[in-house]
Chain A
Amino acid sequence: MALNMVLSALKQTAKLNIIACKFHTQVTPLLFQTSQLLWAEPMKKKKRIDPSVIAAREAKKIRRIEKEIKRLTKFGRILKPIEEVEIDNRKYRLALERKRPLPKLTAEEKDYRDLLIKEWGAYKSYQWHWEAKIMDQLTEAQQEALDELKQESLELYQAALQIDYSCVPIEFQGPKETPPKKDYPAPDGEYVDTTRKY
């Protein structure tokens, strides 16, 4: 009897436990709400494409790429032509046509030319040595001046050794064949850019 009572009491508590799980302990509810979508565009009907059409399209794409690959492998990379290196066939033929006949040199003329070239070589080499000698003299003169200055004052010597950056870069315009004409209006030229664009 007593055992029966204990069992029923246990059952009661178990039931109570189950009920307790179904309740939440928060006092106020969360109140989640969804508003209705009233401004949206009506959904489009999905188009159904024929799978055979899709397959055809893919094949076309692949074919196009294959064609391009074929073309590229045939020609290699397309390079910019180097005009100086390539010989224009037309110009080459023109050069042959326009060849000036070389005059037959007499023995005297040949000798004259050879001797003149030799003489010129000797003259230029003499000139080079002469100029080099004068350059040496100039540097020697400057070194002498610096040495003398060093004896006088170290401060002035140091000031003389400083690099003058206003001298670099320096630009010289070489001598011309004839002197410039005063008040000469230089004729206007035209500038035409013949560089090809690629």
Chain B
Amino acid sequence: MALRHRHVIKTLSMSSRLKLLQNSGTKKFESKQLSTAHPTNLIGAVCIERYPVITATKTKLEERFSNLLSQIELEKSHYSDHEVRLMREKKNVKSKTDEEETHAEAQTGLDLEDKWDAELKAFQPASRETEADRKKDRQSLERQLDSCLYLVIKQNINGKDHWILPQISWQEGENLRQTAERALASIGGNIKATFLGNAPCGVAKFEPDKIFFFKAWYRDGQVILNKDFAKDYLWLTRNELSQYCFPTYSKNIKKFIPPF
């Protein structure tokens, strides 16, 4: 209770402080942290995730168990209308041969089955492996449909090219989520992504930089790279990240990128 009370007081004082800052008449409350001479360089980065489109391939055990379940389900089921019809027709055929009657039904159950088979064959579901998978096109969003993809870009940092998540320096007057949103906007193209919350999902420290990562859920659009911002881009899975990124960097970002 006391803790919560303190928290309320803190937030109140925060908002009043911010208000005073906006008015900018009094500089009494301006905190040290917000002054321009920042000891560490704050950076906001965006981790754009494309969620899986298709289910993951079943493991051998999952496959076996799923077969067993459907087997048990079949054993415990009752005969369906169609099965009853088939059995009745079979019986009728037998009796017909005895009595030599010759009026058959217009459409037997077997005929129907043939029709259904033909209909099923006519429908071809889209392949789970796409064109991009076959071509190993890592810039396409149509690749690796059964796993998450993350957008990484190639940027020159301190004279060296690095594969990183899109990032941009924090500017005064915005919160870090807005910085990350700016990073997303400066990639170029028409990517629409939903930011999931105001809190960063992870942090990486490279003195004097401190990078705060925000997760965004990819919805729609394509990357048309802004050449001033980055040299190249790729959509990678979690496992591919370490092939491109700097080891410590990939280690840091894998803390908040789950392996499923």
Contacts and interface: CB of A to CB of B under 8 A. Distances in A.
A145 B17 contact: no
Nearest to B124: A181
B205 A148 contact: yes
A159 B199 CA distance: 8
A142 B84 CA distance: 59
Interface string B205-243: 100001011000000000000000000000000000000
Given A120-B61, A141-B202, A155-B34, A181 B125 contact: yes
A179 interface: yes
A120 B65 contact: yes
A180 B258 CA distance: 25
Interface in B25-84: 31, 33-34, 40, 42, 51-56, 61, 64-65, 68, 74-79, 84
Interface string A95-124: 100111011000000000100110110010
A7 B79 CA distance: 131
Contacts of B17: 155
Residue of B14, B17, B84 with most chain A CB atoms under a 10 A cut-off: B14
A133 to B, nearest CB: 10
A55 to B, nearest CB: 64
A179 B52 contact: no
Contact of B176 (A117, A131, A159, A179): A159
B199 A154 contact: no
A98 B82 CA distance: 12
A116 B146 CA distance: 26
B14 A155 contact: yes
A73 to B, nearest CB: 41
B247 interface: no
B65 A116 contact: yes
Contacts of A175: 51-56, 146
Nearest to B68: A116
Interface residues of B, number: 55
A158 B16 CA distance: 13
Contacts of A141: 201-203, 255-256
Please tell me the size bucket of the interface on A. 35 or more
A120 B63 CA distance: 11
Interface in B143-157: 145-146
A178 B259 contact: no
B14 A154 contact: yes
Given A134-B260, A175-B53, A152 B198 contact: no
B61 A119 contact: yes
B249 interface: no
Residue of A123, A164, A177 with most chain B CB atoms under a 10 A cut-off: A164
A14 interface: no
A21 interface: no
B137 to A, nearest CB: 16
A135 B130 CA distance: 31
Nearest to A123: B61
Contact of A152 (B33, B197, B213): B33
A37 B260 CA distance: 99
Contacts of A160: 175-177, 198-200
Interface string A164-198: 10010000100111111110000000000000000
B185 interface: no
Interface of B: 11, 14, 17-18, 31, 33-34, 40, 42, 51-56, 61, 64-65, 68, 74-79, 84, 125-128, 130, 145-146, 175-177, 194-203, 205, 210, 212-213, 255-256, 258-260
Please provide the 5 A-B residue pairs with the shortest distance between their CB atoms, ordered closest to farther.
Answer: A159-B175, A145-B203, A153-B33, A178-B125, A98-B78
Interface of A: 95, 98-100, 102-103, 113, 116-117, 119-120, 123, 131, 134, 137-138, 140-142, 144-146, 148-149, 152-156, 158-164, 167, 172, 175-182
23 contacts: A100-B74, A100-B77, A113-B68, A116-B64, A120-B61, A120-B65, A134-B259, A138-B258, A140-B255, A141-B256, A142-B200, A149-B203, A154-B33, A155-B33, A159-B198, A160-B177, A160-B198, A162-B198, A164-B195, A175-B53, A178-B54, A178-B125, A180-B53
